[in-house]
Structure 1
């Protein structure tokens, strides 16, 4: 595949994936705007309950990543029916996990909310929101798994269309239930749950229709479901290491004082948005790597990997330059406090410098996920986290500030880069065939 063809393939998958990814934070932003007009207790409740809900669903992102890899490998091997059968196994696993988490979330909602020690009125609203939201957890996990199937089939446009449509439906339902029917925060939870359920049903219908067309089985296959679950375990570990690193970053920033945590919050929000663009390339990497290895094309896998690494590096450089060069324009949008502005501007310089590293890390993460190299990613994640923890805590011990903390977080990303580049340069992950 020539360079121009490689670039077109990467963009064909990455651009729709980016818009699908952007729709999620926009949905959360819309919920916050609608609930925020109900009052401060409701908005605080959304923050607490939303954190718990996002954590439950976020840990299950392996349903998308693992399924993408497995399905793409079979597509590369020319086994379209087997690819859809593998995808159906992922859907059944998502449904089972979704039901378990929904029941657990409903029953444990009061205890989970109480762990954040909110005021009583905030706690009451948060429990209400979380319990109603639990209705949508099975659909949210089915949405993840079905998205993974379609990505593995080299289709990122359908998930994009469904995500954007669900976003619009979410806004409409929230306004209707919250203001039209005067349901308060319960209306927001119900509206979002219904929008997510509709999105999940729509994507599952697409996958099931494809499975029927190719004659793939639809009934539960116990060995297949167990294999999907086992494949997901190392990806769960990998995801947890990332989340722990981010939680520690916020914990230390909070301990540094109000100005520091305010600057950190804005910087991390901007960092997260840039991460969506990088994650879109990583999604393309998952799909293309799985397909190439499934076809037994090691040389092609090497070539597309190197090309995507350049795309990640370039995206990181562009994002970093924008973050650095435009900070004088956008920083005033977020705060009028001169101390926060100065601190934020300094933090953003550090965040900008690390963006090229982030770009390559995200791409290689996607490549190795696409290769089914989850066990190595789990080990690499643990190694980076173990070395990062004392680095972050030393900012407190040595009396450093939030700028030093962001240097430490950049160190975490650098550690991930070193472990991932080391793996990419070797051949152990280049396992060909339909099953990794």
Structure 2
């Protein structure tokens, strides 16, 4: 048995110290996500300079690759509470780590199949032949990248569950740096080397995934609880995989629902007009930048809640989530203020069209409110993840975003882009309320039974569990 990490006593109400721990754990995760976003922008910019047809083929592949990798990542986040529950017990933790690797392999193969089918999907959906002909071996390279990234996610999810977010940042930033350097070199070439064009971008992303996964798995040897232990996957255990998937698959489904409905909103915005479509796309990117901070914070509270979950301390669990909510609100407000102050240079970076900038300026308050409510629902959702209870989140997303999808077209037709974003705000607000309600309801059920009377008072009737 390893030495247990010190945790705040469950009977004490954590305060600023817990918020500080949340920030310390979440910040490296957020920086990792930002670095990955920058790397993706570099790929797009390099290919755009190479050839329009190459960029179109890349965009077609990414339309499947991004949801596939996001779904895999969502599934793998479901293992974090299982890891956090055994952060002081190597004998119990090692089997979880091995099962996590197998879950990464299985989900990675499914994602790879989807990305590998891009040419067929493009043919069925009527993509121009010129774009399909440009694909070449890119779908196969990207399919391999999905599989490698999934195996890497098995390591990073384990590290997040153990609270070692700096090791995750090391893996992510190393892979992103490699992707940027290789993209700049392999796409357009350097010196006498002419480059590989679109295939170069695929090679860069695959090598980047390999480097990131390798560094992450190397990082698994660093935590004391796993030091000296064999982490080879061994034989897959079907029951264990099903248990992990029972938490991760609903998470992945919520990701798919969100991607699908945001696609519906993009179509509704495009029907309003070209300016609205462009403004909507930029607004979604800005909101996503702020929401990413909430995702990092949500992951950070999972190891924070683990000591309280072990002893069924509802007060401590809720304090951890409150710390996450406080941190998320602070992060979104801070980013929102920065966006408001720097709105002119920021919006000019995205577009030179004065009509699009004017539309965005009017939309900014709504964008900030949407990001705020989205952050709230995410933190409460990760509180449910920590309790291994993700089905309620899936149901809430299905209802709230399902209604949003149905209302998108008529609302945009009647009220334009503002009506669409008001609807998104309403959906996120309802979702935040639902997630908070589910979290409080489920956490109440985890309360331990009331203390039994002393043995020398056998005649006292003991009431059944009445909750906290």
* Same topology, TM > 0.5: yes
| Aligned residue in 2 for 1:161 | 170
How many corresponding residue pairs? 429
SS of alignment partner, residue 312 of structure 1: helix
SS of alignment partner, residue 441 of structure 2: coil
| Aligned residue in 2 for 1:97 | 107
Q: 2:170–2:215: 8 Å Cα contact kept in structure 1?
A: no
2:62 to 50, 55, 59: 50
Query: What displacement does 1:165 show?
Result: 0.9
Q: 2:370–2:424: 8 Å Cα contact kept in structure 1?
A: no
| Aligned residue in 1 for 2:236 | 221
Greater Cα shift, 224-233 or 263-272 = 224-233
Structure 1, unaligned stretches of length 5 or more? none
Equivalent runs, 1:225-240 vs 2, <5 Å? 225-240=241-256
Compute the RMSD of aligned alpha carbons.
Answer: 2.3
Is the aligned partner of 1:419 residue 2:431?
no
Query: What displacement does 1:409 show?
Result: 1.0
Paired with 1:384 and 1:255, the residues of 2 have a C-alpha distance of 23
Greater Cα shift, 238-247 or 78-87 = 78-87
Q: 1:20–1:160: 8 Å Cα contact kept in structure 2?
A: yes
| Aligned residue in 2 for 1:82 | 92
SS of alignment partner, residue 425 of structure 1: helix
| Aligned residue in 2 for 1:135 | 144
1:356 to 372, 379, 384: 372
Equivalent runs, 1:263-342 vs 2, <5 Å? 263-342=279-358
Q: Deviations over 1:263-284 (max 9, x none)?
A: 1111111111111222221111
Q: 1:65–1:286: 8 Å Cα contact kept in structure 2?
A: no
Paired with 1:149 and 1:350, the residues of 2 have a C-alpha distance of 36
Change (3 A) 1:295 1:276: same
Greater Cα shift, 133-142 or 383-392 = 383-392
Query: What displacement does 1:141 show?
Result: 0.6
Greater Cα shift, 338-347 or 115-124 = 115-124
| Aligned residue in 1 for 2:209 | 196
Q: 1:64–1:146: 8 Å Cα contact kept in structure 2?
A: no
Query: What displacement does 1:16 show?
Result: 0.7
Query: What displacement does 1:208 show?
Result: 6.2
Which is greater in Rg? 2
Paired with 2:425 and 2:377, the residues of 1 have a C-alpha distance of 11
Paired with 2:366 and 2:110, the residues of 1 have a C-alpha distance of 42
2:43 to 31, 44, 68: 31
Query: What displacement does 1:340 show?
Result: 1.4
Equivalent runs, 1:100-119 vs 2, <5 Å? 100-103=110-113, 105-106=115-116, 108-119=117-128
Query: What displacement does 1:358 show?
Result: 2.6
Q: Deviations over 1:130-187 (max 9, x none)?
A: 2221122211111222111000111100110111111111122223322135211101
Q: 2:19–2:326: 8 Å Cα contact kept in structure 1?
A: no
TM-score w.r.t. structure 2 length?
A: 0.85
Q: 1:64–1:145: 8 Å Cα contact kept in structure 2?
A: yes
Structure 2, unaligned stretches of length 5 or more? 1-7, 9-13, 449-468
Change (3 A) 1:202 1:332: closer
Is the aligned partner of 1:375 residue 2:385?
no
SS of alignment partner, residue 429 of structure 2: helix
Paired with 1:326 and 1:198, the residues of 2 have a C-alpha distance of 35
Change (3 A) 1:209 1:334: closer
Q: Normalized per residue, which structure has more helix?
A: 1
Change (3 A) 1:300 1:80: farther
Q: Deviations over 1:68-112 (max 9, x none)?
A: 12111222xx42332232122011121133234434533x23112
Paired with 2:233 and 2:348, the residues of 1 have a C-alpha distance of 54
Query: What displacement does 1:28 show?
Result: 0.6
Paired with 1:161 and 1:56, the residues of 2 have a C-alpha distance of 23
Q: 1:113–1:126: 8 Å Cα contact kept in structure 2?
A: no
